[in-house]
Chains A and B, each alone.
Chain A
Amino acid sequence: MTLLHVRNLSVGFPTPDGVVHAVNDISFSINAGETLAIVGESGSGKTVTNLALMGLLNNNTAQISGTATFQSHDGEIDLLGIEGSKLQKYRGRDISMIFQDPMSSLHPYYSIGDQIIEAHQVHNQVEPEVSRQRAIELLGLVGIPDPASRVDSYPHQFSGGMRQRVMIAMALVNNPSLLIADEPTTALDVTVQAQILNLLKDLQSEFKMAIILITHDLGVVAGAADNVNVMYAGRIVESANVFDLYAKPSMPYTQGLLDSIPRLDQPHTNRLSAIPGQPPSMISLPPGCSFAPRCSRKDEVAGGRCSLELPELTLRSASHSARCFISEGVAVK
């Protein structure tokens, strides 16, 4: 069952220098219970995409277009078309979000219990004591030791990893069908990263929820995702089942990302390769492929077409599409 279907989502931020096209006409969908990873470097539009879906972008500063059909607990809604005040009752109930920096995502003045109880109370007409029991239950589920007493602790009494667990508990308190995890492990130690990812995986099967995992780390993606969208300069440049993506990356940018990760099966004396150059300005995108200025293989396509014409996102196989002339088979050489 398709849980969320995003069509032609674009987000622009008008500035004095021109409109910053943070997200350009992207479409994707996610099924109930599966994990979709969105991968890309900083500024590629991953976070903006999801903030737009959550209705967390300021309408005064962002121009949003497109549709996002979502199966909520009371029927189908368009996350992008719905009024802000109506979207509010789905936020935190049907869709939850956890953020990159757990150190600053919790209110320092309220106990974690209060914050989780608040999240439960706002969507459920129950006695506060019921919400409190629910909070304790969730804290136990996410691996907080002695949850019944820790529920009254304050955020500053927890480590970063523990705070992210608290954020996860808060996000799951209303059994959401979709969890958006925006770089949930970026601010954490590597050992803690693995714990949090495993926790998310365990909870996913328990709560039967879909996860959109935003990350820049393809290592994280390999272990956690079912499908992957690779984003570059506000566009999806490759979209595939996770196995296909690693086996047959069909876009030089994806290849570049994979090459920049150290691998155990490569001699450790090899230098890691980096992608040269910078992402383009989002105010004036190049007319052709956004990645062309940095692409080492653009000369394989005749007539400098990569720099002149934007390739479409086309199918490579049933579960694999890419935005590249080379893998499209038009390469001449």
Chain B
Amino acid sequence: MLSYISRRLGVTLLILLGVSFTVYVIFAFLPFDPAALTCGKNCNDPGIIEANRHRLGYDLPFFTQYWNFIKGLFVGSSYGMGAALINCPAPSLGYSFREHACVSSIIGEALPVTLSLALGALVLWLVVGIGLGVLAARYKGKIVDSASTVFVLIGTSLPTFLTGLMLLVFVVIKWRWLPFPAGNYTPFLEDPYEWAQILFLPWVTLAFAYAALYTRFVRSAVIETSNEDYIRTARAKGLPEGTILGKHTLRSALAPIVTMAGLDFAGLLGGAILTESVFNLPGLGRLAIGSVIEYDLPIIVATTLLAAAIVVLMNLVVDIAYAFIDPRVRIA
């Protein structure tokens, strides 16, 4: 087991290095001059541009730049000199001249928002998706099953921005069940109630589409597993139906759900762009979109890299979790 984990860990580190290099190459060879972008769209003073280029290290050879970037992740980095010296502590992802802040601290503010959003949505869609999927499988062809089909159909066909806007219009504006989310995200540690109240509709919006997908998946997985020979064996042993479903069927049927949920969750952590935009949440998705529109290269690099790293790391987590679930993976 330990050798399995360390083997996977080593591979993951290599992949991360490859990802970081690829992302850095793409952005280094974009047809933009990062130095020119540091002093505004209409900045024409070559003196300032060259000074900024030197301060940010964009005049160094490519590999030196990449090396400094990687080094900054571990030891921090500093830009400029003398009174204008800017220090970004580790892990440093660069400095955004547009925001006048270290990229890592900008991301540090956006990440908890996206994390809260994704985590809440994940819990919601897992509960609804698995619950409804199991019910639909158990009562196949009955009214619950038909109702779940309708739910799946609506959930998969409604785009997120429409769901979000409709929720806003009806729940907040028309029926006034919830106060208007004024974009003032409150951290969980400050006021958990306020935190949940602001995030509730975004959670529902995000979870709706995923819950529909998961319902469909769980339903067919449970039905398929119920036809396995080893489920017949469990029944032949005289186990009660509840044990057969809960212990034997679900263990096999839900194993692929771990993979799915892990990767979907990782995808969302990279930024739930539409949901964050509709509900005006200052998360990673909105940060990424904003930086693309503003040509804020250091932030684009950082958000892209972060999203990729999260996916890679989540893959690792899923693989390790799978080894706990499936002994065939563990003892291979």
| Apart from A92-B239, A108-B230, A122-B238, 15 more pairs, CB < 8 Å | A54-B236, A56-B235, A56-B236, A88-B240, A93-B238, A97-B236, A107-B233, A107-B252, A111-B327, A122-B237, A122-B240, A122-B243, A154-B328, A156-B328, A167-B233
Q: Is the interface of B mostly helix, strand, loop or mixed?
A: helix
Q: Is the interface of A mostly helix, strand, loop or mixed?
A: loop
B243's nearest neighbour on chain A, judged by CB, is A122
A154→B237 contact, CB < 8 A: no
The contact of B232 among A90, A99, A111, by CB within 8 Å, is A99
Interface residues of B in 185-242 (CB under 8 A from A): 228-230, 232-240
B325→A109 contact, CB < 8 A: yes
Q: A217 contacts the other chain (Cβ, under 8 Å)?
A: no
One digit per residue, 1 when the CB lies within 8 angstroms of any chain B CB and 0 when it does not, for chain A 100-130 equals 0100111111010000001100110000000
Q: B71 contacts the other chain (Cβ, under 8 Å)?
A: no
The contact of B233 among A99, A122, A156, by CB within 8 Å, is A99
The contact of A118 among B229, B237, B325, B326, by CB within 8 Å, is B237
One digit per residue, 1 when the CB lies within 8 angstroms of any chain A CB and 0 when it does not, for chain B 293-332 equals 0000000000000000000000000000000011110010
A109→B233 contact, CB < 8 A: no
Q: A122 vs B237: C-alpha distance in the bound complex, in angstroms?
A: 8
Q: Among B228, B239, B252, B326, find the residue whose CB has the most chain A CB atoms closer than 10 A.
A: B239
Q: B98 contacts the other chain (Cβ, under 8 Å)?
A: no
A157→B331 contact, CB < 8 A: yes
| CB<8 Å pairs between A and B, sample of 18 | A56-B232, A56-B236, A88-B238, A88-B240, A90-B238, A92-B238, A97-B236, A99-B232, A104-B228, A106-B230, A107-B251, A107-B252, A108-B252, A108-B326, A122-B240, A122-B243, A156-B328, A167-B233
A interface, how many residues as a size bin? 20 to 34
Contact residues in A for B326 (Cβ distance below 8 Å) = 108-109
A108's nearest neighbour on chain B, judged by CB, is B328
Closest A-B pairs by Cβ, 5 of them = A92-B238, A91-B238, A92-B237, A104-B229, A119-B237
B140's nearest neighbour on chain A, judged by CB, is A60
Q: B53 contacts the other chain (Cβ, under 8 Å)?
A: no
B232's nearest neighbour on chain A, judged by CB, is A56
Q: B55 contacts the other chain (Cβ, under 8 Å)?
A: no
Q: A96 contacts the other chain (Cβ, under 8 Å)?
A: yes
Residues on B facing A (Cβ under 8 Å): 228-230, 232-240, 243, 248, 251-252, 255, 325-328, 331
Residues on A facing B (Cβ under 8 Å): 54, 56, 85, 88-93, 96-97, 99, 101, 104-109, 111, 118-119, 122-123, 154, 156-157, 167, 170
Contact residues in A for B243 (Cβ distance below 8 Å) = 122
Q: A111 vs B328: C-alpha distance in the bound complex, in angstroms?
A: 11
Q: A109 vs B230: C-alpha distance in the bound complex, in angstroms?
A: 11
State how many angstroms separate the Cβ of B241 from the closest Cβ of chain A: 8
Contact residues in B for A105 (Cβ distance below 8 Å) = 229-230, 232-233
Q: A90 vs B239: C-alpha distance in the bound complex, in angstroms?
A: 10
A108→B327 contact, CB < 8 A: yes
B238→A156 contact, CB < 8 A: no
Contact residues in A for B229 (Cβ distance below 8 Å) = 99, 101, 104-105
Contact residues in A for B252 (Cβ distance below 8 Å) = 107-109
B331→A154 contact, CB < 8 A: yes
B331→A122 contact, CB < 8 A: no
State how many angstroms separate the Cβ of A220 from the closest Cβ of chain B: 21
A123→B236 contact, CB < 8 A: no
State how many angstroms separate the Cβ of A156 from the closest Cβ of chain B: 5
B236→A104 contact, CB < 8 A: no
Q: A190 vs B251: C-alpha distance in the bound complex, in angstroms?
A: 34
State how many angstroms separate the Cβ of B329 from the closest Cβ of chain A: 10
The contact of B236 among A92, A108, A109, by CB within 8 Å, is A92
B234's nearest neighbour on chain A, judged by CB, is A107
Q: A120 vs B5: C-alpha distance in the bound complex, in angstroms?
A: 35
Q: A43 vs B118: C-alpha distance in the bound complex, in angstroms?
A: 52
Contact residues in A for B236 (Cβ distance below 8 Å) = 54, 56, 91-92, 96-97, 99
The contact of B238 among A108, A123, A157, by CB within 8 Å, is A123
A96's nearest neighbour on chain B, judged by CB, is B236
State how many angstroms separate the Cβ of A260 from the closest Cβ of chain B: 28
State how many angstroms separate the Cβ of A64 from the closest Cβ of chain B: 16
Contacts A104-B228, A104-B230 known; A109 to B251 CB distance under 8 Å?
yes
Q: A14 vs B144: C-alpha distance in the bound complex, in angstroms?
A: 23
Q: A99 vs B234: C-alpha distance in the bound complex, in angstroms?
A: 12
Contacts A105-B229, A106-B230, A108-B326 known; A91 to B331 CB distance under 8 Å?
no
Q: A54 vs B238: C-alpha distance in the bound complex, in angstroms?
A: 10
A156's nearest neighbour on chain B, judged by CB, is B328
Q: A100 vs B251: C-alpha distance in the bound complex, in angstroms?
A: 23
Contact residues in B for A88 (Cβ distance below 8 Å) = 238-240
B327's nearest neighbour on chain A, judged by CB, is A154
State how many angstroms separate the Cβ of B136 from the closest Cβ of chain A: 15
State how many angstroms separate the Cβ of A171 from the closest Cβ of chain B: 8
Contact residues in B for A108 (Cβ distance below 8 Å) = 230, 252, 326-328
Contact residues in B for A106 (Cβ distance below 8 Å) = 230, 233
Q: A88 vs B243: C-alpha distance in the bound complex, in angstroms?
A: 12
A109→B239 contact, CB < 8 A: no
Contact residues in B for A96 (Cβ distance below 8 Å) = 236
Contact residues in A for B248 (Cβ distance below 8 Å) = 107
B230→A122 contact, CB < 8 A: no
State how many angstroms separate the Cβ of B138 from the closest Cβ of chain A: 12
Q: A100 vs B228: C-alpha distance in the bound complex, in angstroms?
A: 13
State how many angstroms separate the Cβ of A142 from the closest Cβ of chain B: 16
Q: A96 vs B233: C-alpha distance in the bound complex, in angstroms?
A: 10
Contact residues in A for B234 (Cβ distance below 8 Å) = 107
B237→A91 contact, CB < 8 A: yes
A54's nearest neighbour on chain B, judged by CB, is B236
